[in-house]
Amino acid sequence: MIKESLVKTLSDQVNAEYYSAYLYLAMSAHADRAGFKGIANWLFVQAREEMAHGTHMYQHILERGGTPVFADIKVPPASFGNIKEVFEKVLSHERMVTERIHKIATLAQQEQDHATYAFITWYVNEQVEEEVAAEELVAKASLVADNPGLLYNLDTALAARTFIDPFAGNAG
Ligand code: OFO
């Protein structure tokens, strides 16, 4: 059975993942309104991934005999600046999420909850990928920022991203 300290911190993270989804939806709407449909698509897929993460954590709490704790989801900003600034905000958000995930991993170790530690390890690795992807987008956006043609190419490239449920076929 999962300890209350981990129910609390994982429930907080469920909320944070859903906030991440809200944040990326707001960024997606911002990009869409600015005419960047491909970048809007990339951010929309990102939002769907965050919802999958939140749901996956919720399921872990239940499977381990805990009762998830619910709370209000914060309202995201409505405006995010230019495309480079959008991706800089993605990167700083993901870095903040990484810190949160590491704190959960540390708590799971302290509580000797090996099942939650094994569970959260997937997210430790996922955050490495998330940060690399965001860093690459910041670098690309910095290179093309003042060139509408190159920005258009970046937008077209990001239209190709599709959502793949990271937990499809996996009950845990
Ligand atoms: Fe949930 O992975 Fe990004 O934040």
**One-letter-per-residue 3-state SS of the chain:** CCCHHHHHHHHHHHHHHHHHHHHHHHHHHHHHHCCCHHHHHHHHHHHHHHHHHHHHHHHHHHHCCCCCCCCCCCCCCCCCCCHHHHHHHHHHHHHHHHHHHHHHHHHHHHCCCHHHHHHHHHHHHHHHHHHHHHHHHHHHHHHHCCCHHHHHHHHHHHCCCCCCCCCCCCCC
| Assigned domain for 167 exists | no
Mutate to test the pocket of ligand 1, among 17, 96, 103, 137 (most ligand atoms within 8 A of CB): 17
The domain of 109 spans 4-158
- For residue 137, report the distance from its CA to the centre of ligand 1, in Å: 16
Determine the pLDDT at residue 169.
74
Ligand 1 atom, smallest distance to 46 CA? 3
Residue 25 located in a structural domain: yes
Look at residue 170 and tell me if it is in a domain: no
Flag whether 103 is in a domain.
yes
Q: What is the pLDDT along the chain (172 residues), one digit of tens a residue?
A: 999 999 999 999 999 999 999 999 999 999 999 999 999 999 999 999 999 999 999 999 999 999 999 999 999 999 999 999 999 999 999 999 999 999 999 999 999 999 999 999 999 999 999 999 999 999 999 999 878 899 999 999 999 999 999 999 764 4
Q: Kindly state whether residue 26 falls inside one of the protein's structural domains.
A: yes
Instruction: Give the residue among 23, 68, 69 at the shortest CA–CA distance from 49.
Output: 23
pLDDT for the residue numbered 170: 66
Domain membership flag for residue 120: yes
Residue 165 Cα to ligand 1 midpoint, Å, equals: 13
171 belongs to a structural domain = no
Q: How far is the CA of 58 from the centre of ligand 1 (A)?
A: 15
pLDDT number for residue 21? 98
Distance 140 CA to ligand 1 centre (A): 21
Q: Is residue 168 domain-resident?
A: no
Q: Which residue lies with its CA nearest to atom 1 of ligand 1?
A: 50
Q: CATH number of the domain that 82 lies in?
A: 1.20.1260.10
pLDDT (0 to 100) of residue 172: 45
Cα 51–Cα 39–Cα 79 angle in degrees, nearest 5:
80
CA of 149 to the centre of ligand 1 (A): 30
* Total count of domains within the chain: 1
Residues with CB under 6 A from ligand 1: 17, 20, 50, 53, 94, 97, 126, 130
Size of the chain in residues:
172
Distance 104 CA to ligand 1 centre (A): 14
